[in-house]
Structure 1
């Protein structure tokens, strides 16, 4: 599946600060993240590697005006199991409200699958709300277990 005409899929850059923080509000609470904090985070993400493999792979889809309309990340984790294999964790998939229905989320997820596979991951996993299960099943994922969590007070 390819992007609609005029859209581009690429790695997130510091110039994407306003767009990424805005689009992520569709998904969850972003909080007060300054431009400086965002820039430092991207520097950190760019510096962390497992050998030659970047651990953080935050990607964006931009429209013809260069505005971020979708964002997502695949984090690469090195495990002890599977002979010290790699696992991709898909995180923070969000599509701007007015851009939903154009298959941008599906295209972004397929791209993140491809990255994880190219990096040698033996599987890709994600956690999602029950209300999003149908979407992720359309993306080829299957139910596998239960997510558990503890949220710590600040």
Structure 2
């Protein structure tokens, strides 16, 4: 059996408080190299279209992110009874010139499997990512969300600030990634 490699190895970045609040037989940890088989993409599919990934495509992305383990902090919550990923989330670390070369954490891709909702796993994921941001010296942690999700994020301690804008690159102008 192949041993998991994890996106990052710093155990001090996993909140003991969050771990203690998870249901019995659940744990939170960094994304692992074997999480493709544990349903990582299926959970992300709750959010949006994930496209097609072969196992190798997924591993290539995993190892790209692992090489930048001071930027990508993806977490998963595992249900040990089924050995599957049931919740996911990522904190991206942005290094700035403002705020004396400060850091901003960007929370992305929060998703909980449909059959796992109502167990506060989304809340625990947000708390865990906030903990990582604080431990890494971020002066703020931000996220974008649908208007319908604002009340949930307010319960997590976030406040609405300004407006989000997006520009989507037209399909004809998209350049294939190298």
Q: TM-score normalised by the shorter chain: which range applies?
A: over 0.9
Q: Which runs of 4+ in 1 moved over 2 A?
A: none
Which 5+ residue runs of structure 2 have no aligned equivalent? 1-17, 172-178
Question: Do residues 23 (structure 1) and 43 (structure 2) align?
Answer: yes
**Could you say which structure has the larger radius of gyration?**
2
Cα displacement (A) at 1:13: 1.0
The match for 1:60 is 76
1:150 deviates by 1.1
TM-score by length of 2: 0.82
Distance 1:109 1:39 in 2: 25
RMSD after superposition: 1.0
| Alpha-carbon distance in structure 2 between the residues aligned to 1:145 and 1:6 | 40
- Structure 1, unpaired ranges of 5+: none
- Measured against aligned partners, the alpha-carbon deviations of 1:33-66 in whole angstroms (never above 9, x if no partner) come to 22111111111111115xxxx2000100010222
Report whether the alignment pairs 1:37 with 2:53: no
Give TM-score, length-normalised by structure 1: 0.94
> Helix, strand or coil for the counterpart of 2:130?
helix
Q: How many residues align?
A: 150
Corresponding residue to 2:117 among 100, 110, 125:
100
1:131 CA displacement: 1.1
Structure 2 residue matching 1:151: 3-state secondary structure: coil
Number of the residue aligned with 1:78: 95
Query: 1:153 Cα shift?
Result: 2.6
List per-residue Cα deviations over 1:92-130 (Å, max 9, x = no partner): 000000100100000011000001100111100000111
